[in-house]
Amino acid sequence: MSNGTQSEDWAPSSWQQRRALQQPHYEDAAELAQATAQLAQLPPLVTSWEVLALKQALAEAQEGKRFLLQGGDCAESFADCSSPIISNRLKVLLQMSLVLVHGLKQPVLRVGRFAGQYAKPRSADTETRDGVALPSFRGDVVNGPEFTPAARRADPQRLIRAHAHSALTMNFVRALIDGGFADLHHPEYWDLAWVEHSPLAAEYRRMVAGIGDSLRFMETLAGPIAGFTKVDFFTSHEALLLHYEQAVTRQVPRHRGWFNLSTHFPWIGMRTAALDGAHVEYFRGIRNPIAVKVGPSVTPDQLLPLIDALNPQNEAGRLTLIHRMGNAKIAEALPPLLQAVMRDGRRVLWVADPMHGNTESTSNGYKTRRFDNIRGELDQAFDIHAAAGTRLGGVHLELTGEDVTECTGGARGLSEADLQRAYKSMVDPRLNYEQSLELAMLIVRKSVG
């Protein structure tokens, strides 16, 4: 048995025997079956070769040879599947990775939270407004955000539309990268129009100039260096809606196993990571590298069996643990987990998500995060790992290339009053361009001292 993939007691549908949290209620089983059958016929969005290449790169990150940058929207939407939104998000991630490569002197593994990030866990099944209760919005793959019975109905046709929008996004990202958009010789391609006025612009431009000088110097000696004209970009999403994930799970005979071929790197959200739940059952049987979000209430006694269920062979690169504790809780919650995992010799990649434990509501009704709390959690994460003798090998962020005002603080000191200016997120508040770049600079300062 390897990863449970050869296991006779697993099938892409075996999760259906377990308790599946956070799933919508589909009214018409025949309509759902018709849509998933159609989805199962569509070509995959990624290949098993790419998936295994990412697993190898994640194994290298575990060994301290790479740093993972994973980021994108909390939730993608069909309406935002457009050229500027996709390319601006790519620009921010490329700029951040440039800062990280330059500062860490290490290859950066780039993984987008995109091309499939359409399903959201919710705290309640229904939402009530003015005495009217309707099903909660669960992401564009399930239903629509408008507060009407028609929009909130779980519509199986959205499974097909989500796959199509993922493919459109993926196709554009691949075309941009193949066309030279990520060429290190031309970082000016990644400038966002409003960046010129950023307080961080000067520091960023100094780094770009430094990299340009080094590149020209090396190429004078050695000729053009192919690796600098292209970068790899992988995709990830929370594999929450199991009917969707089952339909995009395919057997790959050459690699003797089942792969989720809708994304390179699916993850299990904090709310659906129960050992005996449907999500863990689904994930144990696929051969992709996978991640699990770990919140502050998880104990070592819960975490170790989960690791064993998901990575029974202790395979390198297979399992990433993304801790999301909150600035106030990380100092207490993280060390026992690091100790237990290290003591038992479990191979994992540790990644910090400093966003999801720091969400709060303002007095004027916005869901926000304070930049100081995000920075504080990340800062502590580096120190706690250093003290434990483990390595923080990456970050997981919610960000956008748009000039939004969703998180307070940062270089421009956004206040609660600023939130109403450009709050666009349908779900969680994202870092804007400047706040993202500032965080990348912080990571460099923490890592190199």
> Which C-beta is closer to Mn ion: that of 100 or that of 399?
399
> Which C-beta is closer to ligand PEP: that of 48 or that of 400?
400
Q: Which does 161 bind (CB under 5 to 8 A by kind): ligand PEP, Mn ion, none?
A: none
Footprint of Mn ion on 309-328 (CB under 5 A): none
Q: Nearest distance from residue 236's CB to ligand PEP, in Å? A: 10
Which of 140, 119, 152, 144 shows the shortest CA–CA distance to 245? Answer: 119
Cα 403 to chain centroid distance, Å, stands at 20
DSSP state letters, 293-344: EE-TT--HHHHHHHHHHH-TT--TTSEEEEE---TTTHHHHHHHHHHHHHHT
User: Interface with ligand PEP by CB under 6 A: which residues?
Assistant: 74, 121, 238, 269-271, 293, 324, 356, 428
Q: Nearest distance from residue 427's CB to Mn ion, in Å? A: 6
Which one of residues 74, 134, 211, 292 is an interface residue with Mn ion (CB under 5 A)? 74
**Residue showing the smallest CB distance to ligand PEP in the complex:** 269
* 353 makes contact with Mn ion (CB under 5 A): no
d(Cα 37, Cα 433) in Å, to the nearest integer? 40
In a 13 Å sphere around the CA of 323, the CA atoms on its Cβ side amount to 32
Q: Which does 296 bind (CB under 5 to 8 A by kind): Mn ion, ligand PEP, none?
A: none
Q: Nearest distance from residue 273's CB to ligand PEP, in Å? A: 8
Q: Which does 293 bind (CB under 5 to 8 A by kind): Mn ion, ligand PEP, none?
A: ligand PEP
Q: Nearest distance from residue 281's CB to Mn ion, in Å? A: 24
The piece of 35-43, 59-67, 250-258, 428-436 that touches Mn ion (CB under 5 A) is 428-436
d(Cα 176, Cα 179) in Å, to the nearest integer? 5
> Which C-beta is closer to Mn ion: that of 74 or that of 294?
74
Which one of residues 238, 428, 434, 438 is an interface residue with Mn ion (CB under 5 A)? 428
Cα–Cα distances in angstroms (integers) from residue 178 to residues 230, 246, 253, in the given order: 7, 30, 28
Q: Which does 270 bind (CB under 5 to 8 A by kind): ligand PEP, Mn ion, none?
A: ligand PEP
> DSSP class of residue 133?
E
> Which C-beta is closer to Mn ion: that of 74 or that of 159?
74
Q: Nearest distance from residue 21's CB to Mn ion, in Å? A: 17
> DSSP class of residue 72?
E
> Which C-beta is closer to ligand PEP: that of 195 or that of 352?
352
The piece of 12-20, 206-214, 388-396, 426-434 that touches Mn ion (CB under 5 A) is 426-434
Q: The tokens of 110 are what?
A: 């780039």
Give buried/exposed letters for 50-65 (b at 16+ CB in 10 A, else e): ebbebbebbbbbbeee
Q: Nearest distance from residue 91's CB to ligand PEP, in Å? A: 22
Please name the residues in contact with 202: beta carbons below 8 A apart, sequence gap of 6 or more.
none
Q: Which does 243 bind (CB under 5 to 8 A by kind): Mn ion, ligand PEP, none?
A: none
Q: The tokens of 21 are what?
A: 């949290």
> Which C-beta is closer to ligand PEP: that of 176 or that of 238?
238
Q: Nearest distance from residue 250's CB to ligand PEP, in Å? A: 25
- The CA-based angle 165-169-175, given to 5 degrees, is 145
**Residue 257 backbone dihedrals phi, psi, to 5 degrees:** 175, 180
Q: Sign of torsion, CA 56 57 62 68?
A: negative
Please name the residues in contact with 150: beta carbons below 8 A apart, sequence gap of 6 or more.
144
> Which C-beta is closer to ligand PEP: that of 121 or that of 144?
121
> DSSP class of residue 137?
P
Q: Which does 94 bind (CB under 5 to 8 A by kind): Mn ion, ligand PEP, none?
A: none
Q: Nearest distance from residue 149's CB to ligand PEP, in Å? A: 26
Site residues (vs Mn ion, CB under 5 A): 74, 428
